[in-house]
Chains A and B, each alone.
Chain A
């Protein structure tokens, strides 16, 4: 609640806090529930229907059950040209989770996504929005196993890139310590990032 109030305080108008608060609600509950949307509505003086209108517009708010690891495989043009669809198929096969679904154990969700800005490192994959570039189908499988067997608490792009990545869009520079602990982008001010 304190975090919510501090987020609201960042903006000249309360309503602007809707999107960050939706992330916060999703982070708290693992997905965006009706109760979560209702709470955001209360905090921003909107109706729940108005909050729902916003939440459902953006693809990163997940209203259905979503796994601890959300694996997003890019299939937009550059990744598609370099085999993104094969990477997706490999990940679906290895995880046993079809595109758009979540495994029974609640560990992994798999989705294909539109461009995630990693075209120079195609094909690209994100796990909880942490990026790994230059992924081959084979490395996609290894990434799945790493998630399913190793169950890392915090996921960072740098670690995955080291383990499963290839061609990068550009030199990333030094590694980041902050990472994601669930299917919400890891960002300090929203309270969604944790150190490895």
Chain B
């Protein structure tokens, strides 16, 4: 079952053009929504689909829409700030099928009573941004955007906005600050964006993949979408597979298969016949899984049961040769680099942990550093449980804790072996 990637696979040279998009049924869902459905009916279909947001947090999209405040104007913002290490699915959707996203946006804007929408694309994605901008230009020319979409009287403008290098802007309130021309610092919630978002007006922020599903839902009905996949993990999902695998890439799959099926059957397994050591199931923020979990099903709820998450759908595989301290350092360094700096535990804690890991990797670790790492982690994410408690404003700080707890729980002996005195048995 392919919802998102069918067109791009069938039409490799022109799936991103308006001509091909229309030729393959594009914008018919929009026509249906505008002329045959009320905004409320569109909202009902999205609710009925039970789709959960594809950005990482997995919040039900239909429910989120229901929180939208009544004040005007209202805004729709597409979160195309894909930056979670391991994640590259939205890039493909943006480059290869921008009209699918655009149609989803227009339908959603109609449902939400929005007449101005933004696509916030990370600055490192100029090629996707150009493709989306071209799609927007085509849509204006074809009367699919502007004051009178398809002659329906409904109007929508779309602005493509480039970020400039800040992972934190993937957090929706940081994204809104950034879009307002401010530092990309997350806001205190509540108020949530649906009530006070962009320019303090009601705003819905949805992920690229989430909205790209909307045209299909409208064409086939929310119930049809809900019929795909296991309970709590409805629809297809675009997973990004990378690391030590034979066939990395994006795979649109129905959830519910096992990790073994995904990594070995679809991903081709580990190169060189090596053993798998561990993998990250849902982006760098997620705690790692172990070979003993290979036969667990890939669903949102099963991942939660294993104290981790599917997050942004990024699966990073590490084989037996991996130095887990090095891997953890890479991730902690990422979060330290991307910490916005406004709240104390994240700003100070992530960097402190990075420096301790660097010392350990350089052979200058102390025995006490292991417990210290855990205690710093605990001061960022009290109790070290999942889903994480936080002493921070947003989940970035606790994200940096995941690799620490992962290596300390599963590979503590390997870490200890890198401490000079301990290695020598002193």
Contact = CB atoms under 8 A, between A and B. Distances in A.
Direct contact of A and B (CB under 8 A): yes
B12 A173 contact: yes
A121 B248 contact: yes
Contacts of A170: 88, 91-92, 96, 249-250
Contacts of A126: 124
A41 B163 CA distance: 18
Given A54-B181, A58-B166, A186-B126, A118 B243 contact: no
Contact of A12 (B116, B125, B131, B337): B116
Nearest to B130: A178
B13 A77 contact: no
A149 interface: no
Contacts of A13: 180-181, 199
Contacts of B333: 114
A169 B83 contact: no
Interface string B149-180: 00000000001111111110000000000111
Nearest to A185: B126
Nearest to A10: B159
Contacts of A75: 330
Interface string B307-322: 0000000101010001
Contact of A115 (B14, B243, B334): B334
Contact of A58 (B87, B91, B165, B179): B165
Point out which of B73, B124, B322, B333 has the most chain A C-beta atoms below 10 A from its C-beta.
B124
Contacts, number: 200
Contacts of B180: 13, 15-16
Contact of A77 (B86, B127, B133, B182): B86
A188 B133 contact: yes
A130 B129 CA distance: 12
A10 B179 CA distance: 12
Contacts of A15: 180-182
Q: How large is the interface on B (under 10, 10 to 19, 20 to 34, 35 or more residues)?
A: 35 or more
B162 A78 contact: no
A58 B161 CA distance: 14
Interface in B288-334: 314, 316, 318, 322, 326-327, 330-331, 333-334
A20 to B, nearest CB: 7
Contacts of B334: 76-77, 114-115
Nearest to A13: B199
Interface in B271-286: 280, 284
Nearest to B249: A120
Contacts of B164: 19, 22-23, 58-61
Interface in B75-98: 82-88, 90-92, 95-96
Given A78-B86, A115-B334, A173-B12, A57 B183 contact: yes
Contacts of B183: 53-54, 57
22 contacts: A13-B199, A14-B181, A15-B181, A16-B179, A16-B180, A46-B181, A57-B166, A58-B184, A60-B124, A78-B86, A81-B322, A81-B327, A82-B243, A113-B124, A115-B84, A119-B88, A120-B242, A157-B127, A169-B91, A173-B95, A185-B123, A188-B130
Instruction: Give 3 closest A-B pairs by Cβ, nearest first.
Output: A59-B165, A18-B181, A58-B164
Given A77-B284, A120-B241, 19 more contacts: A14-B181, A17-B181, A19-B161, A19-B163, A20-B161, A58-B184, A76-B334, A77-B280, A80-B327, A81-B243, A82-B244, A114-B333, A115-B85, A115-B86, A120-B248, A120-B250, A129-B123, A174-B13, A190-B162
